[in-house]
Structure 1
Amino acid sequence: KRRCEMAKVCVPLAKGFEEIEAVSLIDVMRRGGIEVVVAGVNEELVTGANGITIKADTDIKYVVADELDMVVLPGGWDGTHALAENPTVQSLLKEMNEKQKIVGAICAAPFALKTAGVLPEHYTCYPSVEEQIGNLEGYTDKEKVVIDGNVMTSRGPGTAICFGLAIVRKLVGEETYQSLREGLLADYC
C-alpha cells in the first residue's frame, strides 16, 4: 500500500450488532484517516443489539475485496450469527484471507471468522465465545488485541477503542496511532 493512498476498511453490520464496538471502530478509524465503508447485511437501516439504528453506506453485496485493505466485524451475538450465516460475508472473508489482506473481529465475531475458516491459531474474543469457537489452546484473555498473521481480534465493548487504534497503527502507522491515542486519552491502550 502506497503511503499516499488512503487505507480502506469495510465494517459489515447485521441486525443485532454491538453498537459500542461498531461505532468506536468506525469513529477511531476515520479519525485515523482510514476510509471506512459501512456495509449493511440484508438492510440499509441496521438496528443493533441495544436498539440503536445505523444507516449503512452500501449493501454488502456491492463490496469488492480488491478495493479493500481490511474487513472488520463488530460483535453482538445476533449480528455475529447473521455474519456467520451470510454467504456474501463468508465469501468476502475467505477472499480477503486468500489475498493476505487483513481480517478483524471483536467480541463474539471471531465466531464468524471460524465459520469462514479464517480464524488463526491465536485469537481473543468475548469470554465464553471461545467455547463456541472450540480452539481453546489458541485463545487468550490476557491481551486486548491479538494479531496472528493477517488476522486481528479483540475482546469486547471495553476494548473497542484499543482495537480501533491497533487497526490505525497497522494501516496508517505509528505516528498517527500515537497522536490519536493521546487525543482520545486512551493511554490504557
Structure 2
Amino acid sequence: SSSTTTTTATPRRAAGVAARAAAADAAAATDPKKKKVLVPIADGSEEIEAVTVVDVLRRAGAEVVVMSVEDDRNEVVCSRGVRIVADKNVRELAGRGAPSDWDLIAVPGGMPGAERIADHVKFHAVLEKHFRAGKLLAAICAAPAVCFEPKGFLEGFAATAHPAFVDELGGSLLEKEAHAQSRVVVDQHVVTSRGPGTALEWALCLVEQLFGEDKAKEVAGPMVVQPANARLRRNLEWRLDETPAK
C-alpha cells in the first residue's frame, strides 16, 4: 500500500509565526539603526531587477520604499508587462531630499524605465545629493549607463552594465574591457551590475554592503542560493547554454 503525506501548518504554529513576524515588525519600526532604502521604478523598468532587490533587502531587514517616478500614479507597467504598485509617488517624496534620509538608493534597469528615472528632475535632485554625500548608490542593467554615467556619478569609478550599454560607460577601452564581464562591481560607495541574470547577486551584494557578510549569508541560505564554487549542474540537469547530459 502507499500513502500520501500532506504537511500543513498547525493553528498553533501559524499563530507563533504571526506573533514573531509582528514582534519583528514592531522592533524594526522603532529601531533607529534600521537601514532605509529607496528603489525608484517607472514605466519600462525591468521587473526582475526591481522586485529582486526589494525582496532581498526586505529579507535582510531593510526598510525599502518603492517609489514611482510617474507623477500621476503609483502603478507602473514594467518592460515585460508586469504591473507593480509602488509604495510612494515621487511627489510624496519631493521633500525628502536630505542625504541622511536614505542609506541606499538602488536603481533597476530596463528601457525606457531607466531613461524615465534619469529624466525626472525632482528625483535627480535626490540622487545628486545622495551621491555627493558619499552614500551607497547602486544601479543595474541599463541604469549605470543611462542614469549614472551622464550625471558624472561614475567618473573615477569602476563600473559595469548590460552588454548593450557597457560601451556607453566612461573610462578607457582597457578599463571597460576589464570590468565589462564582471557580474557585480563594487567601487567605494557605487555598486553596479549587468542585468536580470545577475540581479540576485547584486541584491545580496547590497545586503553585504549595508549589513555585512554574515547577514548576506543568512539571507542567501533559506533562498537556496548556490555558492559560487558549487557545481553548476548534475549529470542529468539541463542548462540554457548546453544540451542535457546523456
Work out whether 1:113 is the aligned partner of 2:111: no
Summarize deviations over 1:23-46 as a string: whole Å, max 9, x none.
011001101111100000023101
1:86 equivalent among 113, 120, 124: 120
Looking at secondary structure, tell me which structure has more strand per residue. 1
CA distance change for structure 1 residues 61 and 114 in 2, over 3 Å: closer, same or farther? farther
* CA RMSD across the alignment: 1.7
Rg bigger for which structure? 2
Structure 1 stretches lacking a partner, 5+ long: none
> Tell me, what secondary structure is at the counterpart of 1:21?
helix
Matching residue within 96, 99, 102 for 2:130 = 96
| Greater mean alpha carbon deviation, residues 96-105 or residues 84-93 | 84-93
Distance 1:138 1:61, change over 3 A: farther
Q: For residues 6 and 113 of structure 1, what CA distance do their matches in structure 2 show?
A: 26
Matches within 5 A, 1:1-189: 5-42=33-70, 43-63=73-93, 64=96, 65-111=99-145, 112-120=147-155, 121-135=157-171, 136-139=173-176, 140-188=179-227
Distance 1:6 1:122, change over 3 A: same
Structure 2: unaligned runs, 5 residues or longer: 1-30, 229-246
- Quote the Cα distance in structure 2 between the aligned partners of 1:36 and 1:44: 15
Q: Answer with 166-175 or 12-21: which moved more.
A: 166-175
Amino acid at match of 1:187: Q
* Larger RCO of the pair (alpha carbons < 8 Å, separation 6+): 1
* TM-score (structure 1 length as normaliser): 0.92
Which deviates more from structure 2 when the two are superposed, residues 174-183 or residues 157-166? Answer: 174-183
Is the 2:160–2:194 Cα contact (8 Å) retained in structure 1? yes
The alignment covers a number of residue pairs equal to 187
After TM superposition, give the deviation of residue 124 of structure 1 in Å: 0.7
* Counterpart Cα distance in 2 of 1:86 and 1:138: 30
Instruction: Say if 1:93 and 1:116, in contact at 8 Å, map to a contact too.
Output: no
